[in-house]
């Protein structure tokens, strides 16, 4: 990995010729706090780190929305998601708060669903074969939900998953 700059000034570079695994390991071991944003073909996904821990991830892709993840993994029905989104439009509350308030999911399952969402977003990044990245150091938005996932365990899980899926190991990792 040959980033353009490092330490407190941030990192920029491309995934072509860089390993996402190495990039994350460098951020983790340096106890970085900030946002790693990756972009390719109109997709933008971000990984939020605090003191070297992965605490959240976000995406501009509809497949990565919490409701879609919860449906895909059988935690909510599409009808429940639709009802929650309708309620969200009227109240402007966060989706997660609505599904708990409406009794669709207990708070503990919502928390597990958020962790699942973060894992799925990060997993999808390891499948990218090209793209640009930028790490912006600094404080995170107060709206970031701190989940704290064990980064080494997460990366190991993703690598194992990539190796066991049809087609073997994909690019980016």
Instruction: Give the per-residue pLDDT at 4.
Output: 41
Both tokens of 164, joined, read 């066991």
Asked if 84 and 115 touch (Cβ cutoff 8 Å), the reply is no
pLDDT for 41: 93
Q: Count of alpha carbons within 13 Å of 2, Cβ hemisphere only?
A: 2
Q: How buried is residue 5: exposed, middle or buried, by Cβ count under 10 Å (0-12/13-18/19+)?
A: exposed
Predicted pLDDT of residue 3: 43
Successive 10-residue mean pLDDT values, the chain, 173 residues = 47 81 89 94 94 91 95 95 90 90 94 91 90 90 72 78 68 45
Supply the pLDDT for residue 116: 92
Could you give the CA distance from residue 82 to residue 32 in angstroms, rounded to a whole number? 38
Which sequence spans correspond to the domains of the chain? 7-164
Task: Kindly report the pTM of this predicted structure.
Answer: 0.80
């Amino acid at each position: 990995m040959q980033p353009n700059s490092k330490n407190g000034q941030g990192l920029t570079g491309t995934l072509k010729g860089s390993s996402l695994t190495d990039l994350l390991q460098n951020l983790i071991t340096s106890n970085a706090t900030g946002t790693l944003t990756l972009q390719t073909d109109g997709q933008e996904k971000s990984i939020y780190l605090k003191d070297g821990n992965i605490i959240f991830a976000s995406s501009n892709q509809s497949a990565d929305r919490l409701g879609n993840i919860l449906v895909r993994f059988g935690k909510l029905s599409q009808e429940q998601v639709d009802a929650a989104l309708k309620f969200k439009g009227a109240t402007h509350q966060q989706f997660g708060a609505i599904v708990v308030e409406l009794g669709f999911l207990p708070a503990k399952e919502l928390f597990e669903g958020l962790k699942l969402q973060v894992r799925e977003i990060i997993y999808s990044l390891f499948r990218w074969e090209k793209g640009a990245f930028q790490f912006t150091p600094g404080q995170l938005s107060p709206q970031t939900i701190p989940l704290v996932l064990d980064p080494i365990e997460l990366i190991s899980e993703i690598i194992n998953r990539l190796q066991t899926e049809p087609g073997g190991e994909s690019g980016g990792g």
